[in-house]
Amino acid sequence: MTNPSLEKYFRKIWPWLKNKYVMTLVAFVVWIVFFSQYNLIDRTRMAKSLKEMQHEKAYYIEQIKRDSTRLHELTTDNENLEKFAREQYYMKKPNEDIFVVVDPDDQK
């Protein structure tokens, strides 16, 4: 009930597997891929993690630059500070009314 093509393939490869150099090479490759301290599976996972962290680092550096610029604008110009307070925190002067208009497309 065995597969004849599999037996044919096994007969072709068996003499190679009996060679001590090939066996040593196969054992070395298996050791490097699965069992060593710095195996290829972990290295691939670490490389992916490093790439994600580098993207996060670039994102946060850009955020820091943008926020630093915004902070400088708010601390140096009272007009910008008032505009920010009105837009972000809906602050108003005592004699004003605020109407918030919401775009229905933004609610999705």
Task: Dump pLDDT digits (tens) for 23-42.
Answer: 889 888 888 888 888 888 88
Distances (CA, A) of 21 to 27, 33, 34, 35, 107: 10, 18, 20, 20, 67
pTM given for the model: 0.55
| 108 domain-assigned | no
Give the containing element (helix H, strand E) for 5. Answer: helix 4-18
**How many domains does the chain fold into?**
1
Q: What residues make up the domain containing 95?
A: 4-100
| 106 domain-assigned | no
| 105 domain-assigned | no
| 107 domain-assigned | no
| 54 domain-assigned | yes
Q: Which residues of the chain have pLDDT under 50?
A: none
Radius of gyration for the alpha carbons in the chain, expressed in angstroms and rounded: 33
| 73 domain-assigned | yes
| 24 domain-assigned | yes
